[in-house]
Structure 1
Amino acid sequence: MTTGWETVTTTFAKGDKPYGGGAFRVRGNDIISLKTSGPELKFKPARELKDPDVAEFTEAWMDDSSERLNRRTVAFLKGTFNGGLTRTFQQRGQDAAWWYSKDWRTVYVSTGWMDYKAPQPADGLAPQITKLWRSSDGGQNWTQLNWQEDHNIGQLLFLDSLRGYAIGWGPHAWRTADGGQSWHEIKVPPLADVGKPRKTFDAVNLGPDGVLRVAYYVEQLGEVKTSSLIYRLAWDQQDFEPDVVLPNQTVVDLQSSPETTGSYSLYALSRLGAPRNWDDANDKGHRTGALSTWGNSQRPDVHQLHTFDEHLMLDGLSVGQQGALLVYATDATGDGAPRDLTFISKNFGKSWDNLKDGTAQGGYFDPDTNTQYALFAYTLKKRKL
């Protein structure tokens, strides 16, 4: 049962084909969206079918899964609820990341594309071609920036329209101070890049004061064992420094409260214990979940706010104004399809409501207004905490 939702529109992105809302943001009547989608597939009319009981595509390539993946695209759309959405950017890609300024004037988009028809390389790592783009007029016109194509980008995090970070496989972190014209790689914290070549940080956050934090799990680093480490990097620093240690935890998400007047809080959503062992068939990934918090001061104390049942798979976290916290989880232990759940606290984690919202096709939480948006097919709903 959904709780507290208000319907905004029943025709969200209905005119853009193929179907999908993508990642989107709403401000009044205005909308921007970043969407990855496959090519539009068309079927022959009944009179042209060889077998009237078997559907046929109009073109042979549509029946090739690798070709469909190769023809996926990344699109940026803008518009209004009344006037619909228009694509102002489209490039080939199966993956994308974006960042936009508060006034939506400056937008960065990265695209990642793999050739699924190419022979499998010896190391099993198909090359990904990454490109980076910037708009200075709200997404109407775009400029491609210089970027080394073999450097994947998974996240774009900016302090303002000129200063920011790109985070990618390895993991790697790069910094720009000139709007993406040039980038400087930053050395990652100890053992963060040990393991698979396409390893990622478990979580990344850019605080309201411009401090970048990264979370990752280590078996052992000095006297620290089986813990998640949080390292921090201020804009004027060249090297990461330790922030906090979360013993016997694997971080799922890391968020900061949106206060901009000095002090603010950090929140880590974690699974207690070591990461899931995918080579062990008996390890189903079930772990007790935990939500912890600390302040942005030097050498802060960490407090565990809440734990979640181990049958839940924790998916993400949002933090809003005045103690609003949202934890997103999936319950796949019962019969039938997995159930999406949202746990909401309005008092800094002291008490929680469990809302069974059903499966949405997209959505986000606006921390500045404490408003949650969710898309169910073409129906966009919102609720304010």
Structure 2
Amino acid sequence: MATGWETVTTSFAKADKPYGGGDFRIRGTQVISLKLAGPEITFKPADQLKNPEVAEPTEAWMNDSGERLNRSTVNFLRGPIDAGLTRTFQQRGQDAAWWYSKDWGTLYVSTGWMDYKTPDAPNELVPQITKLWRSSDGGQNWTQLSWPEDHNIGQLLFLDSQRGYAIGWGPHVWRTANGGQSWHEVKVPPLADVGKPRKTFDALNLGPDGVLRAAYYVEQLGGVKTSSLIYRIAWDQQDFEQDVVLPNQTVVDLQSSPEATGGYSLYALSRLGAPRNWDDPSDKGRRTGALSVWGNAQLPNVQQLHTFDERLMLDGLSAGKQGVLLVYATDATGDGAPVDFTFISKDFGKSWDDLNDGAAQGGYFDPDTNTEYALFAYTLKKRKL
């Protein structure tokens, strides 16, 4: 199948140094981007080198990996696709999460920073300093919100500019109804927080009706063994309730179709079997992949739509309008470099085409327009599905 890409521009974010498109979004001719960037590294001229065949950084810290990580920053940029992007936010951090309203008027950004120069802690958990920011004018100006620095944020999911969730290590779930001015912690589902202190959910989804769903794997819960549980909570509920059980599966991604009138569909991309056992050298992590679907009604019926060859490492899933589905996967079983594939269905998962798109350096799928964007160096491409 032809890849169907159309070139949008060959100079995407070219002027921003160090280069990188970041996690970008496009609307019309405008771009917003949340970008993690290391410090710019410069090198001495040839006549100052001790060894003319070995490059030397201009300053000593540039040769220290810990110092480079400590100087990493989280950046927000906005501007026209072809005229260059303007940075309006920069804070130190090696990790970040964001949420933006449909009109891009309201944005939230969390930043996470660790000191990579500090000695190892007794529990091997280096503290992370987390900060939370909000903009109410499209990213032109930012206000830091009150947030406990030791509460990591891995995802921000909002219903609108005022109501939303922050989800972090543990896992923990916090809810705000006043634009992040105050937060209330929501009790997580049974056994979701059993295990390592920095455990996370396997996947999260906020449906078009504002229902939050969380997927996680359990060894056993009552009569349920080696399965992924998916729990749900509506905005007017105080506690999570069970949605579905996926027997003998480990969820990779969880997405909802954008339609809300008359209901919508939930899609789970999973690996069949237990999670990879990293303590067993013989377990290479290869599992048959599966895609399942169910509706947002009470007591839903789960159907398995498709399976994927175990040679593929499943990377993610997108769900669009009118039955468009995309599954992203990598084949690293060959002798050469890993090969990235996109599997596309336009009939609700009944039939699939696989595309070898090469190695993109970023991109996303817009479910409202069924448009996929991908960045190849400075070249931004799109395809309408």
Task: Calculate the TM-score normalised by the size of structure 2.
Answer: 0.99
Q: 1: CA distance between counterparts of 2:348 and 2:53?
A: 58
AA at the equivalent of 1:200 = T
Q: Secondary structure of the equivalent of 1:84?
A: coil
Gaps of 5+ in 2: none
Please state how far the C-alpha of 1:140 moved relative to its aligned partner.
0.3
In 2: Cα distance, 1:255 partner to 1:82 partner = 32
Deviations 1:238-264 (A, max 9, x none): 000000000000000000000121400
1:97–1:156 Cα contact (<8 Å) kept: yes
Q: Is the 8 A contact 2:12 2:82 kept in 1?
A: no
Q: CA deviation at 1:81?
A: 1.7
- Letter in structure 2 aligned against 1:5: W
Q: Which residue number in structure 2 is paired with residue 49 of structure 1?
A: 49
Could you tell me the percent identity over the aligned residues?
83
1:351 is matched with which residue? 351
Deviations 1:324-369 (A, max 9, x none): 0000000000110000000000000000000000110000000000
Question: In the alignment, what sits opposite 1:176?
Answer: 176
Could you tell me which residue of structure 1 aligns to residue 300 of structure 2?
A: 300
Amino acid at match of 1:348: F
Query: 4+ residue stretches of structure 1 with deviation over 4 A?
Result: none
Supply the AA of the counterpart residue of 1:207: G
Partners in 1 of 2:370 and 2:68 — Cα distance?
39
Does the CA contact (< 8 Å) of 1:2 and 1:356 recur in 2? Answer: no
Q: Could you tell me whether the CA contact under 8 Å between 2:258 and 2:319 is conserved in 1? A: yes
Provide the residue aligned with 1:381 in structure 2: 381
Q: How does 1:68-79 map to 2 (within 5 A)?
A: 68-79=68-79
Residue of structure 1 equivalent to 2:141: 141
**How far 1:82 sits from its partner (Å)?**
2.9
* Structure 1 counterpart of 2:360: 360
**Matched ranges for 1:72-87 at <5 A:** 72-87=72-87
What is the CA–CA distance in structure 1 between the aligned matches of 2:214 and 2:353, rounded to whole Å?
A: 29
Amino acid corresponding to residue 11 of structure 2 in structure 1: T
Secondary structure of the structure 2 residue equivalent to 1:323: coil
Q: Which whole-Å CA distance do the structure 1 matches of 2:45 and 2:261 have between them?
A: 63
Aligned residue pairs total 385
Assess if the C-alpha contact under 8 Å between 1:253 and 1:317 holds in 2. yes
Equivalent in the alignment of 1:119: 119
Q: CA deviation at 1:13?
A: 0.3
Long gaps (5+) in structure 1: none
TM-score of the aligned structures, taking structure 1 as reference length: 0.99
CA distance in 1, matches of 2:336, 2:73: 33
CA drift at 1:2: 6.4
Conservation of the 8 A alpha-carbon contact between 2:11 and 2:82: no
- On the 8 A contact 1:175/1:183 being kept in 2, the answer is yes
Q: Is the 8 A contact 1:2 1:358 kept in 2?
A: no
Residue in structure 1 matched with residue 34 of structure 2 by the alignment: 34
1:209–1:262 CA contact under 8 A, matched in 2? no
Q: What CA distance in whole angstroms lies between the structure 1 residues aligned with 2:195 and 2:216?
A: 12
Cα distance in 1 for residues equivalent to 2:2 and 2:84: 27
Aligned match of 1:263: 263
Alignment RMSD: 0.7
**Deviation at residue 50 of structure 1 after TM alignment:** 1.4
How do 1:333-344 and structure 2 match up within 5 A?
Answer: 333-344=333-344
**Pair 1:218 & 2:226 matched:** no
Q: 2:369 — aligned with what?
A: 369
